[in-house]
Amino acid sequence: MTSPYPPGPPPQLGYPTNVPGPPPPHRSYTKLIVIGIAAVVVVLVVVGIGGATLYANRDKVFGGKAPGPFQSASSGKPIYRKLPGCDAMPTAALARLVPAMDNTLNVRREPENASDGPYGVCQWDNLESDNKPPNEDRSVKVTLQGYADNVTPGIAAAKQNLADARDTADDLTGKTDGDHKYGRVRELADLGPGAFAQDYTVNSPTWLYGGTDVYLQADNLVVTLEVIGADGPDSKEKPMAAAQADAGASGVAKDVMGWLSSCADCES
């Protein structure tokens, strides 16, 4: 049988093969490039803001020294404190806790001012005042210890000293050491990081009194306060209550800190 189609490959069914189809779609990458660049810019801005915030708060985030009253308001850097002269401290800070003794304070220095060296100590101790109830047997002692003035290790040394004092206080909590019986340790957050107080009582044949020790750090200085509420076996006073001693010692500590922060001669 003869084929009706001409010689050659058989014809394809459907659309003719000689008719061109629609052109392939044209892909434009310009829009994608713009979107990608915008996304990168947004990421960089977010990372930059986050990094700047983290850097500004690095002390808080990483557990370092949080900004406090002894940091420079302009630069934010720590201010190293020196002891310009022990007599420069206003005695009103001591009289504030023992108001009946404001005219009988005996301010002394032990030892002589050593602020020119890497370590200095100033101590104030008001003598007892008789026949002036109800404060005849109350006294306050304040000690400032400066570490490595004008050099960075000073702050680290003061911080370590405060930590050592806290460890000792924790070990003594609820224990009797000789004739001293120690109470619990109380945090004093309003006096700065690490500040604490511990009350104690002394009961011996010759002494009967209660007191509170307060410790705080002010840059490269450690401030120690000892508040004695009642002293002597014939005292008519009961030992000062812990809350009262804490409040009084906190007041004196704030006075000391205020004096240090405003003392131009104390800034290195």
The answer to whether residue 176 sits within a structural domain is: yes
Quote the pLDDT of residue 223.
76
The answer to whether residue 12 sits within a structural domain is: no
- Cα separation, 116 vs 225, in Å, equals 23
The answer to whether residue 186 sits within a structural domain is: yes
Quote the pLDDT of residue 36.
72
* Residue 94 sits in the same domain as residue 167: yes
* Residue 90 sits in the same domain as residue 183: yes
pLDDT digits (tens, 9 = 90+) for 5-42: 556 555 554 444 455 555 555 556 676 676 777 777 66
Kindly tell me if the per-residue pLDDT of 230 is higher than 70: no
Domain that holds residue 55: 30-67
Give, in order, the Cα–Cα distances in Å from 23 to each of 16, 17, 26, 129: 17, 15, 8, 108
Cβ pair 81, 157 in contact under 8 A: no
Strands 176-177 vs 139-147: parallel, antiparallel or unpaired = unpaired
pLDDT digits (tens, 9 = 90+) for 159-190: 888 899 999 999 999 998 888 889 889 888 87
Count of C-beta atoms within a 10 Å radius of residue 215: 25
* Residue 212 sits in the same domain as residue 154: yes
Query: Which residues does residue 200 pair with via DSSP β-bridges, in sequence order?
Result: 182, 211
Burial label for 123, CB within 10 Å (0-12, 13-18, 19+), is middle
* Residue 136 sits in the same domain as residue 240: yes
The answer to whether residue 178 sits within a structural domain is: yes
Give residue for tokens 């945090």.
187
Kindly tell me if the per-residue pLDDT of 201 is higher than 90: no
> Which strands sit side by side in the sheet containing 139-147, from one edge to the other?
119-125, 139-147, 221-228, 208-218, 196-203, 180-187, 176-177
- Cα separation, 233 vs 171, in Å, equals 28
The answer to whether residue 22 sits within a structural domain is: no
* Residue 105 sits in the same domain as residue 203: yes
Of 18-22, 33-37, 210-214, 245-249, give the lowest mean pLDDT range. Answer: 18-22
* Residue 224 sits in the same domain as residue 102: yes
The answer to whether residue 192 sits within a structural domain is: yes
- Cα separation, 267 vs 16, in Å, equals 97
* Residue 41 sits in the same domain as residue 94: no
The answer to whether residue 163 sits within a structural domain is: yes
Quote the pLDDT of residue 172.
94
Q: Name the pTM for this structure.
A: 0.55
* Residue 110 sits in the same domain as residue 225: yes
Identity of residue 149: D
Cβ pair 84, 120 in contact under 8 A: no
* Residue 93 sits in the same domain as residue 191: yes
Residue count (the chain): 268
Per DSSP, the three-state class of 257 is helix
* Residue 63 sits in the same domain as residue 94: no
The radius of gyration computed from the CA coordinates of the chain, to the nearest angstrom, equals: 37
Task: Report the percent of the chain where pLDDT is more than 90.
Answer: 6
Domain count, the chain: 2
Q: Tell me, what CATH number does 186's domain have?
A: 3.40.1000
The answer to whether residue 5 sits within a structural domain is: no
* Residue 134 sits in the same domain as residue 241: yes
* Residue 181 sits in the same domain as residue 134: yes
